Amino acid sequence: MVNRCICSKISFAEIKEIADQNEYKSVKDLRDAGVCSIHCRICEPYVEKVLETGNVVFDPFQSTNK
């Protein structure tokens, strides 16, 4: 399961909470604030989904996550 930004050691649940509190609307907002998606950026499409859907756990093998 994919549920965190490994590089920033932060779960998608925490990212969602921070985004809600600070009204961050995009991965760029989160990156600019130093929250996540700063390094390898593998998590970026998932963080986009977190912001879009509110889901915080993803199965990388399920096409419905795309």
Q: Which CB, 5 or 56, lies closer to ligand FES?
A: 5
Residue 57 within binding range of ligand FES, rule CB under 6 A:
no
From residue 57, give the alpha-carbon distance in Å to each of 5, 32, 33: 11, 23, 22
Residue 41 within binding range of ligand FES, rule CB under 6 A:
yes
- For the CB of residue 40, give the shortest distance to ligand FES in the complex, in Å: 4
Q: Cβ neighbours of residue 28 under 8 Å, at least 6 residues apart? A: none
Binding site for ligand FES (CB under 6 A): 5-8, 36-43
